[in-house]
């Protein structure tokens, strides 16, 4: 036996009976992460930040997710009751304070230990204003929420694949910010979409 096989699984141990907040759970990557959390780890609860879409409420959209064949193996291994660990919470990453109700914010800040932030605008034809509000302001707002979490152990942010398209090699390090992100977010909120598009093309 490889001696590494006898080592404790620290990742598994850390997530044992853990409470997690997952954003972007309705997206491609988010669904995969959610499936793995349910199938591999014995977590206590997973809160999912989900917005209303086409008159479908967060709880409805969560049920739609679990009807995906991706979750058949989870259902086979652990039964339908495993999905009761997942709690939908209404919210939108691009809105002020994530659009959270005060009571929901209080619950998250009292209970959550791990934040996995995968929410992002990845459509290349999205207006720049929309992309900035979700990807820049949304991430900043998530960090602000996490700062108030009493039991927080880890904040994981999944960025887009094109964060540094001008770099041939992307190292595992924090890169200096070239622009004032607070000013960019402020301008994005102030100007309408047409004005922002004009500014981008200059």
Query: pLDDT tens, 75-84?
Result: 999 999 999 9
Give 187's contacts (C-beta < 8 A, 6+ positions apart): 196, 199
Mean pLDDT, range 99-115, rounded to an integer: 97
Provide the residue ranges of all domains of the chain, joining segments of one domain with +. 9-200
Residue 6 has pLDDT above 60, yes or no: no
Average pLDDT score, the chain? 87
Q: C-alpha distances in angstroms, 85 versus 37, 62, 114, 152?
A: 11, 12, 15, 19
Q: Which architecture, in CATH terms, is 9-200?
A: 3-Layer(aba) Sandwich (3.40)
Dihedral (CA of 5, 39, 41, 79) sign: negative
Q: Between β-strands 86-90 and 114-117, what pairing exists: parallel, antiparallel or unpaired?
A: unpaired
- Determine the Cα–Cα distance for residues 124 and 69; give it in Å rounded to an integer: 28
pLDDT in tens, 9-19: 677 788 889 99
Tell me how far apart the alpha carbons of residues 186 and 139 are, in angstroms, rounded to a whole number. 14
CA distance readout (Å), 107 to 35, 46, 110 = 23, 12, 5
Closest CA to 184 of 131, 146, 145, 126: 131
Helix (H, G, I), strand (E, B) or coil at 163: coil
61-94 pLDDT, tens per residue?
999 999 999 999 999 999 999 999 999 999 998 8
């Amino acid at each position: 036996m490889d001696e590494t096989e006898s080592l404790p699984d620290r990742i598994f141990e850390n997530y044992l009976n853990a409470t997690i907040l997952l954003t972007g759970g309705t997206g491609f990557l988010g669904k995969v992460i959610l499936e793995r959390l349910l199938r591999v780890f014995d977590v206590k609860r997973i809160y999912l930040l989900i917005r209303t879409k086409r008159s479908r409420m967060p709880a409805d959209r969560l049920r739609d997710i679990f009807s995906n064949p991706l979750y058949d193996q989870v259902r086979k291994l652990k039964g339908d009751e495993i999905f009761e660990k997942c709690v939908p919470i209404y919210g939108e990453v691009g809105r002020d304070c994530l659009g959270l109700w005060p009571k929901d914010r209080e619950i998250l800040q009292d209970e959550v230990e791990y934040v996995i932030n995968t929410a992002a605008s990845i459509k290349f034809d999205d207006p720049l204003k929309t992309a900035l509000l979700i990807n820049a302001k949304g991430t900043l707002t998530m960090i602000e929420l996490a700062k108030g979490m009493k039991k927080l152990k880890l904040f994981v942010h999944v960025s887009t694949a094109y964060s540094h398209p001008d770099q041939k090699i992307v190292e595992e390090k924090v890169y200096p910010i070239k622009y004032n992100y607070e000013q960019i977010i402020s301008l994005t909120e102030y100007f309408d979409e047409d004005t922002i598009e004009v500014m981008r093309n200059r």
